[in-house]
Amino acid sequence: MTVFSLVLLTYFMVVSGIVYDVIVEPPGIGSTQDPYTGSVKPVVFLPGRVNGQYIIEGLSSGFMFVVGGIGIILMDLALDKNRAKSVKVSYATAGISSVVIAYVMSSLKSQCGLSNGVIVEFYDLGYSHLILWC
């Protein structure tokens, strides 16, 4: 049990991109300046590149993955015959909701950061060029 929790913790750290954080040292969160009002707004997802992240962005995504995994584990525990019924039901609900939330959050994030992450747009001379590079 302890071994497994250690394993999950390591997995969480690796998937959050901790090695990237240590080497590249990105800021915790990005910021842009609103062009009209001049106020500084935070930016959560690093725009434009595929292999880049801010620290908080990485940690929250890693957490989502682990929550989704734990959800599936809870679902399996809910089917164990030897537990009380109420515990089983609560496990089942928690499990299903975790998976759903984690999946929805991750796909939202992907749409924010990734679906246009590989496409760079240029407008010139009346053409719009979409050049793909990875």
Partner 1 sequence: MAVTKTEPINGSTTKSSAPPLPSMPLKSDLLSILSLKSLRLKTKQQELLIRVSILCLVYVLAFITRLFSVLRYESMIHEFDPYFNYRTTLFLTQKGFYEFWNWFDSESWYPLGRIIGGTLYPGLMVTAAMMYWGLRFLRFAVHIREVCVLTAPFFASNTTLVAYFFGKEIWDTGAGLVAAVLIAICPGYISRSVAGSYDNEGVAIFALLLTFYLFVKAVNTGSLAWGLASAFGYFYMVSAWGGYVFIINLIPLYVLALLITGRYSMRLYVAYNCMYVLGMLLAMQIRFVGFQHVQSGEHMAAMGVFFLMQVFYFLDWVKHLLNDKKLFEAFLRITVTCAVGVGSIALGVGTASGYISPWSGRFYSLLDPTYAKDHIPIIASVSEHQPTAWSSFMFDFHILLFLFPAGLYFCFKRLSDATIFIVMYGLTSMYFAGVMVRLILVATPAVCLISAIAVSATIKNLTMLLRTKSKVSQTGSTKGTGGGKTSSKAMLDQSQPFQRNGAIALLFGAFYLLSRYAIHCTWVTSEAYSSPSIVLAARGAHGNRVIFDDYREAYYWLRQNTPPDAKVMSWWDYGYQITAMGNRTVIVDNNTWNNTHIATVGRAMSSYEDEAYEIMRSLDVDYVLVVFGGVTGYSSDDINKFLWMVRIGGGVFPVIKEPDYLVNGEYRVDKGAAPKMLNCLMIWNSDLVTSYPHQNHNDLRTYKSIWMYKLSYYRFGELMTEYGKPPGYDRARGVEIGNKDIKLEHLEEAFTTSNWIVRIYKVKPPNNRW
23 touches partner 1 by CB under 8 A: yes
| Count of residues in contact with partner 1, rule CB under 8 A | 64
94/52 Cα distance (integer angstroms): 32
96/93 Cα distance (integer angstroms): 5
User: To the nearest 5 percent, what fractions of the chain are helix, strand and coil?
Assistant: 55, 15, 30
62 touches partner 1 by CB under 8 A: yes
What is the DSSP code (8-state) at residue 126?
A: T
Q: What are phi and psi of 14, to 5 degrees?
A: -65, -45
Whichever of 2 and 31 has its CB closer to partner 1, that residue is 2
Dig out the tokens for 79 from the structure: 């089917």
91 touches partner 1 by CB under 8 A: no
CB count, 10 Å around CB of 134?
7
CB 122 within 8 A of CB 128: yes
Q: What are phi and psi of 57, to 5 degrees?
A: -55, -45
> Minimum Å distance from CB 7 to partner 1?
6
By CB under 8 A, which span of 27-35, 36-44, 47-55 interacts with partner 1?
47-55
86 touches partner 1 by CB under 8 A: no
Q: Considering only residues 31, 35, 86, 132, which one is a binding residue for partner 1 as defined by CB under 8 A?
A: 132
The binding site for partner 1 (CB under 8 A) comprises: 3-4, 7-8, 10-11, 14-20, 22-24, 46, 50-53, 57-58, 61-62, 65-66, 68-73, 75-76, 79, 85, 92, 96, 99-100, 102-103, 106-107, 109-110, 113-114, 117-118, 120, 122, 124-134
